[in-house]
Structure 1
């Protein structure tokens, strides 16, 4: 395969600078990681210049809209993030020819003609490709970049880091560029699609407690279970998939005030052997110390404290060809109101 050409090498022609949108003849799909499937596969789509473009990656599983209490994606630890951009097989030679014409159907702005001549020379005139490689139809496919729409819209420079111009890949060959779709890339993208339920812990007493009275907290194993998302791509001779699974492993309690104690002192409740966290309160346990819980040291003065419960999820993945591994843990937390009252005493 001939070497791919970075877009940035086309940014200046005869001393004139041109916008990337004019220099890169191929259209680019912006992918919204928050799209839902409401129970079925979903193709993530975005738009550019009024045209709707679609990534060919399909997601299924515990994506937004499928959970009984749909919430959102968790936050990766260690400042890790899924790919902001990547490359997919996009067009046959005939399709790329049409896309090329659409992108260059623009007003004849100053300098654009020179940039167009460069692109046409590269893809049409045989330096190195002739007529979009139509003579090689069915022997390969054109690949191009896809961006994470949310990050691109936010102006994140990383979303624009995939700057290699549209490139040709022969059937059976692996692209020699970073972030070309592989099972691992799909696993990382699936990570960004996983949606977990709200962390609504069970409490005793529930929602209203007393000063210096231990409040028991627990999560039942039936509600506290692994979730997964599968990302798959079957296009242009590429057929790969990966399933990313999030397994809950710990719960952290933050009382919402410094005037409180947690059980254990770190506030981190570990998972039990049966998959639950903490211990369900039953009658007769009032004098015991909860394995997971809180004790408030002052009242909430008629208001409430915001108890935050954050679950840590351990992430692993498996993919095509026996590939697999681990990804950074993720955390997701929600809050619930706790009313703390003074214990009333009667003086005789």
Structure 2
């Protein structure tokens, strides 16, 4: 029989116990899991094993070093907490005893007694479900460590206590890990190359002179990250892929014109953007570029180049779909000088 969730009385006393204890063995959030776990592939000083999710794949694109994570469009964010399979009955038994091996404090004894009844004495589980060994796993909450440390309330929303799930059963608890959740988590780990464009003239240009801008196609290829979870009878994975689709140029001053006028330079068939300047093109308008209308004086303008990435995912069982576009941009200094005329 599959049991999901927890008794209110157990949760109440564990909360009280958590607030009283300084031990890191308990969850930091009010009303969450009794175990302190975070989203990571590492262990915490040899204690509770954290997330079992493994991330792998391209993180910088062909021919480029990874540099940064792009920003999702709108207010979309990946899950700040989720549930995943953590322990066999024997493993949970050891973890439970280790976490309760703490000095006594006011309220601890009663909370421990109720938790012991809940997981050991048949109310509702007997001896951590050891008689069901091989037939299921104990699931527990995992929090994104960076969002937990920043105090993001969303990281503490997974407040269901450790629960049992039989093999082949799908947990009914909200935020139980799925291919879509894995895809969302992979999204947040994709890193893309910087977007410094090549300019002609390079670094220093002239007022009213079209400045050509382009990007090498070898640097901007599709980038993907695969998130997988393989624990006991649970085997899920998802691959999130980001495809570069456009470059936006922001001159750093309103006294400038961009090519094309929309400011969006699209990718060519070979993955490049724009067209390199060549001798004989001085009188042509660049397919991607800028024309500054005034001098930058003693300083420079900060040209910002931002790539838009189109994101999609595929996962276990043929699942898949689209995720919000992402953007990532970098700035570079451009000096603009007045053209000096000589009168004879």
> TM-score surpassing 0.5?
yes
Structure 2 equivalent of residue 27 of structure 1: 35
- Are residue 272 (structure 1) and residue 280 (structure 2) matched? no
Q: Output the CA distance in 2 between the equivalents of 1:66 and 1:84.
A: 30
Q: Output the CA distance in 2 between the equivalents of 1:151 and 1:25.
A: 17
Q: 1:261 to 1:110 in 2, by over 3 A?
A: same
Q: Output the CA distance in 1 between the equivalents of 2:153 and 2:235.
A: 30
Q: Output the CA distance in 2 between the equivalents of 1:327 and 1:206.
A: 37
TM-aligned CA deviation for residue 53 of structure 1: 2.8
Indicate which of 231, 237, 245 corresponds to 2:233.
237
Give the match's secondary structure for 1:55. coil
TM-aligned CA deviation for residue 127 of structure 1: 0.8
- Are residue 122 (structure 1) and residue 118 (structure 2) matched? yes
Q: Is the 8 Å Cα contact of residues 61 and 223 (structure 2) preserved in structure 1?
A: no
Q: Is the 8 Å Cα contact of residues 190 and 229 (structure 1) preserved in structure 2?
A: yes
Q: 1:144 to 1:64 in 2, by over 3 A?
A: farther
Give the match's secondary structure for 2:51. strand
Give the match's secondary structure for 1:12. helix
Structure 2 equivalent of residue 4 of structure 1: 4
Which residues in structure 2 correspond to 1:134-153 (within 5 Å)?
134-153=130-149
- Are residue 201 (structure 1) and residue 209 (structure 2) matched? no
Q: 1:25 to 1:316 in 2, by over 3 A?
A: closer
Give the match's secondary structure for 2:285. coil
TM-aligned CA deviation for residue 273 of structure 1: 3.6
Q: Output the CA distance in 1 between the equivalents of 2:212 and 2:89.
A: 64
TM-aligned CA deviation for residue 238 of structure 1: 0.8
Runs (5+) with no aligned partner, structure 2: 20-25
Q: Output the CA distance in 2 between the equivalents of 1:130 and 1:52.
A: 22
Q: Output the CA distance in 2 between the equivalents of 1:221 and 1:14.
A: 57
Indicate which of 190, 195, 200 corresponds to 2:186.
190
- Are residue 47 (structure 1) and residue 47 (structure 2) matched? no
Q: Is the 8 Å Cα contact of residues 76 and 329 (structure 1) preserved in structure 2?
A: yes
Structure 2 equivalent of residue 35 of structure 1: none
Q: Is the 8 Å Cα contact of residues 255 and 292 (structure 2) preserved in structure 1?
A: yes
TM-aligned CA deviation for residue 139 of structure 1: 0.8
Structure 2 equivalent of residue 259 of structure 1: 255
Structure 2 equivalent of residue 68 of structure 1: 64
Indicate which of 57, 72, 97 corresponds to 1:101.
97
Q: Which sits farther off after the overlay, 289-298 or 268-277?
A: 268-277
Normalising to structure 1: TM-score of the pair? 0.89
Q: Is the 8 Å Cα contact of residues 87 and 180 (structure 1) preserved in structure 2?
A: yes
RMSD of aligned C-alpha atoms?
Answer: 2.5
Q: Output the CA distance in 1 between the equivalents of 2:325 and 2:7.
A: 35
Q: Which sits farther off after the overlay, 312-321 or 99-108?
A: 99-108
Q: Output the CA distance in 2 between the equivalents of 1:21 and 1:171.
A: 27
Structure 1 equivalent of residue 281 of structure 2: 285
Q: Which structure shows the bigger proportion of residues in strand conformation?
A: 1
TM-aligned CA deviation for residue 318 of structure 1: 1.0
Structure 1 equivalent of residue 174 of structure 2: 178
Q: Output the CA distance in 2 between the equivalents of 1:221 and 1:141.
A: 47
Q: Output the CA distance in 1 between the equivalents of 2:18 and 2:114.
A: 12
Q: 1:342 to 1:25 in 2, by over 3 A?
A: closer
Q: Is the 8 Å Cα contact of residues 193 and 220 (structure 2) preserved in structure 1?
A: no
Structure 2 equivalent of residue 41 of structure 1: none
Runs (5+) with no aligned partner, structure 1: 33-43
Q: Output the CA distance in 1 between the equivalents of 2:48 and 2:294.
A: 57
Q: Output the CA distance in 1 between the equivalents of 2:303 and 2:176.
A: 43
- Are residue 59 (structure 1) and residue 62 (structure 2) matched? no
| Matched residue count | 336
Structure 1 equivalent of residue 209 of structure 2: 213
Q: Is the 8 Å Cα contact of residues 60 and 223 (structure 2) preserved in structure 1?
A: no
Q: What do the CA deviations read for 1:250-300 (whole angstroms, capped 9, x no partner)?
A: 111111122222122332222234432222222111111122111112222
